[in-house]
Amino acid sequence: MNQQFFSGSNESKLDEKGRFVLPQAMRYGLVEDGKLEFVIGLGLGGCLAIYRKSEIEALVEKFRAKLHIAKFQKFFTIFFSTLHHTTCDKVGRVAIPPILKKAIGFEKEIIVAGVLNKIEIWPKEKYECELMSFLRADNPQELLKELLDESFALLNEKEDAPEKEEELLPL
């Protein structure tokens, strides 16, 4: 099991071919079995997500059991049809597939953010808007406290409890 996790954020720019430079520390975190290969696809809230190959393989195994359940079909189609296996070039650039670039509405400036087991790529304006809406909340300290309480409560849940369907979603 890979103990590596992603954190931090960096600003970047898309070039004329829809590529951006993935920060070196994040590239290193994607290396598995000596290879820099990963998967990029749609994320939650209007971003893209980059996953290690092993993360996607683990998700596929969990989703196989749900493959023929009707209520999941739309999700499977959208999620898996927009996943693209890729790598970086020698300079560390990642090409964003045109369908994903169009789906998210990327312009020029982006934010590359490490979020535990994935790397999120946000349009800069959207990321800053989300951050500002949090910071400008009526009581951002209270909101942060509530989020921390709820998040840390997850750590006290039994790991052997039956999985809930919503917990399977990688986004």
pLDDT digits (tens, 9 = 90+) for 9-50: 999 999 999 999 999 999 999 999 999 999 999 999 899 999
pLDDT band at 165 (very low <50, low <70, confident <90, very high): very low
Max mean pLDDT among 48-62, 65-79, 139-153, 154-168 falls in 48-62
User: 92-129, pLDDT tens digit by residue?
Assistant: 999 999 999 999 999 899 999 999 999 999 999 999 99
Return the amino acid letter for 96: I
Residue type, 8: G
Sign (positive or negative) of CA dihedral 54, 55, 61, 67: negative
Q: How would DSSP label each residue in the chain? A: -----B--EEEEE--TTSEEEPPHHHHHHHEETTEE-EEEEE-TTS-EEEEEHHHHHHHHHHHHTTTT-GGGHHHHHHHHHT-EEE---TT-EEEPPHHHHHHHT--SEEEEEEEBTEEEEEEHHHHHHHHHHHHTSS-HHHHHHHHHHHHHHHTTS-TTSPPPGGGG---
pLDDT of residue 120: 97
Q: Residues 141-169: what's their mean pLDDT?
A: 70
Closest CA to 56 of 37, 35, 77: 37
Which domains are seen in the chain, by residue range? 9-124 (3.40.1550.20)
Tell me how far the alpha carbon of residue 28 is from its chain's centroid. 16
Exposed, middle or buried: residue 122 (CB in 10 Å: 0-12, 13-18, 19+)?
buried
User: How long a stretch of residues is the chain?
Assistant: 171
The band of 2, judged by pLDDT with boundaries at 50, 70 and 90, is: low
What are the pLDDT digits (tens) for 125-154?
A: 999 998 888 778 778 788 788 888 888 888
